[in-house]
Amino acid sequence: MQRIRIFISSVQSEFAEERAMLCHYIRTDALLGKFFEPFIFEEVPANEFPTSHVYLKEVEMCDIYLGLYGNLYGYEDEEGISPTEREYDLAAKLHKSRLIFIKSIDEDRRHPKETALIRKVEMDIVRKTFVDIDGLRTSVYASLVRYLEEKEFIRWKPFDASCDNGATLDDLDEDKMRNFIYMARSKRNFPLPVETSPAALLAHLDLIDDNGRIANAALLLFGKKPQKYFITSEVKCVQFYGDAVEKPMPAYQIYRGDVFELVDQATSFVMSRIDNWTGTREEGDNAAVPTHPELPIDAVKEAIVNAVCHRDYTSNASVQVMLFRNRLEIWNPGSLPYGLTVQKLHGPHKSLPANPLLADPMYWNGYIEKVGTGTEDIINKCREYGLKAPEFHQEEDFRVVIWRASGSQNDPKVIQGDPKAIQGDPKPVEELIRLINKNPSISRAGLAKQLGVSERQVRKIMNQLRAEERLVRKGGTTGEWIIIR
């Protein structure tokens, strides 16, 4: 990052010690030195340019004009104006950030033109006073830290609450917001009606500030193209033939979209590529065929939701979902909150979301719980399935390991009776969704024909979508299909 240039200005003979102190202090401070590069005239090498030219050129180049004003007005040009006032006027004309510090000692001895300059400054901006060099250093530090906060070079609030993205309401999808309200009302009794305006919804969820700036979380939740702003807010899904990261890979997908789409797509990737016990239709043609996937969908989805919701979005890494022959691993770029350990994840613990403004809407849509039960749910669902206990690891990234059934060792349903486990081939889930959205009355036979697969495969995909609450049927067994997400 290019450092922020500060031009330190004063009457040369009055604040030489203060200028040198500030220049050294800013450069050597652990925080300020990372962001700022100060300039003082004493460090300019000899050249053929007049002094006034060097000063004014530096004002043009700087990001911050820092003025030290006292009792002296300094040298006056042919128009009776000092270089210090010339510098301030140019900084004001160029709309530079101006930080003015006035020494408040022996003010009765202040030059009349210096008094007039200070009054002009006071009409433009808020200035600070100081008495001694230590007080000046403290005031400058506080002002520069505030500058970094206002410009959001540093944040005291979570990433998802930051509004420095430059986005507007036009970057958000109104249909997504209406769908969010519909789902939140049906799942959690959300108080706002479906007709609520986008701005009102964002205000209710604290996703827009008083100046109309859009929070990062709003883009991740409802953005038309979230990856336009946060390129690594994607999920990489890969399947391996064996138990190690080795080529060739039978399936590799990079999913993009809002956080709800990422969770749904990644969950579908996993569930369509694991073993699935399939029964027979025993209750007539209209009865659903019973299925029993190798992994509990609730545990898989919960682990993916946690990774997407609680990840560190300032990281250059992405969420990774890796399906091995013997296990599922979900990698989350980030770390556990302070005080929360891997051991504590196995029992009741506080809910400390890394992105609270992201977590709240995901709660309303039924994707997460607020009470810190997510990891416990993963453990319990796997135990109910008879699977080996899942594992949690905190290294450079946070990692969840869910162990697969590995054939028939853990799930007796797989080997009892006529039903058998079959390896799920990759399904054209998104294409099926597109076809249903285009023609909600389309039959399974019609879907099978257009997709080029068997009706049995179509039925499995639709059962999967219904289990994920992404597909419902309106009007009974002969009604229209509706895609929820």
The CATH number of whichever domain residue 96 belongs to comes to 3.40.50.450
Pairing of strands 251-255, 128-130: unpaired
The DSSP bridge partners found for residue 97 are 64
Mark whether 286 and 419 lie in a shared domain: yes
Domain boundary among 102, 117, 150: 150
Three-state DSSP state, 32: helix
Mark whether 340 and 359 lie in a shared domain: yes
Instruction: In whole angstroms, give the CA distance from residue 230 to residue 234.
Output: 9
- The total number of structural domains in the chain stands at 4
Mark whether 198 and 64 lie in a shared domain: no
pTM score of the predicted model: 0.57
The set of residues, in sequence order, having a beta carbon less than 8 Å from that of 323 and lying 6+ positions away, is 237, 238, 239, 240, 251, 269, 270, 273, 274
Mark whether 12 and 118 lie in a shared domain: yes
The DSSP bridge partners found for residue 323 are 239, 328
Segment 414-424 mean pLDDT: 33
pLDDT for residue 81: 93
Among 87, 84, 85, which residue's Cα sits nearest to residue 62?
87
Looking up tokens 């682990």 gives 303
Whether residue 225 has pLDDT greater than 50: yes
Report which listed range, 21-30, 271-280, 462-471, is most confident. Answer: 21-30
Segment 406-435 mean pLDDT: 50
Domain boundary among 228, 246, 271: 228
pLDDT for residue 50: 56
Mark whether 302 and 376 lie in a shared domain: yes
Segment 302-329 mean pLDDT: 93
pLDDT for residue 406: 61
Mark whether 23 and 122 lie in a shared domain: yes
Pairing of strands 291-293, 235-239: unpaired
Among 266, 242, 291, 300, which residue's Cα sits nearest to residue 422?
291
CATH of the domain at 446: 1.10.10.10
Mark whether 28 and 54 lie in a shared domain: yes
What digits encode the pLDDT tens for the residues 43-81? 665 455 556 677 888 899 999 999 999 999 988 989 999
Instruction: In whole angstroms, give the CA distance from residue 262 to residue 255.
Output: 6
Name the band, by pLDDT with cuts 50, 70 and 90, for residue 447. Answer: confident
Full domain range(s) for residue 13: 4-150
**Percentage of residues of the chain with pLDDT beyond 90:** 47
What digits encode the pLDDT tens for the residues 118-145? 999 988 887 888 888 988 998 899 889 8
For residue 188, CA distances in Å to 93, 154, 185, 196, 466 come to 54, 35, 6, 17, 19
The DSSP string of 351-417 is ---SSHHHHHHHHHTTS--SSS-HHHHHHHHHHHTTPPPPEEEESSSEEEEEE--TTTTS-GGGTSS
Three-state DSSP state, 283: coil
- Under DSSP, the state recorded for 19 is H
257 Cα distance to chain centroid: 13
Helix (H) or strand (E) holding 332: strand 327-332
Whether residue 424 has pLDDT greater than 50: no
For residue 38, CA distances in Å to 26, 107, 146, 258, 361 come to 7, 28, 17, 42, 44
Instruction: In whole angstroms, give the CA distance from residue 93 to residue 107.
Output: 28
Q: Which two tokens stand for residue 134?
A: 């230590």
Mark whether 422 and 432 lie in a shared domain: no
CATH of the domain at 321: 3.30.565.60
pLDDT for residue 421: 33
Mark whether 196 and 322 lie in a shared domain: no
Mark whether 431 and 373 lie in a shared domain: no
Whether residue 412 has pLDDT greater than 60: no
Segment 308-321 mean pLDDT: 91
Outline where 191-312 has alpha helix (H).
198-204, 216-222, 259-271, 297-310
Among 394, 280, 270, 271, which residue's Cα sits nearest to residue 321?
270
Segment 425-439 mean pLDDT: 75
Of 281-290, 313-322, 368-377, 421-430, which gets the smallest average pLDDT? 421-430
Of 154-163, 185-194, 310-319, which gets the smallest average pLDDT? 154-163
pLDDT for residue 280: 57
Report which listed range, 245-254, 328-337, 388-397, is most confident. Answer: 245-254
**Percentage of residues of the chain with pLDDT beyond 70:** 86
Mark whether 413 and 466 lie in a shared domain: no
The set of residues, in sequence order, having a beta carbon less than 8 Å from that of 395 and lying 6+ positions away, is none
Domain boundary among 375, 392, 426: 426
Mark whether 431 and 404 lie in a shared domain: no
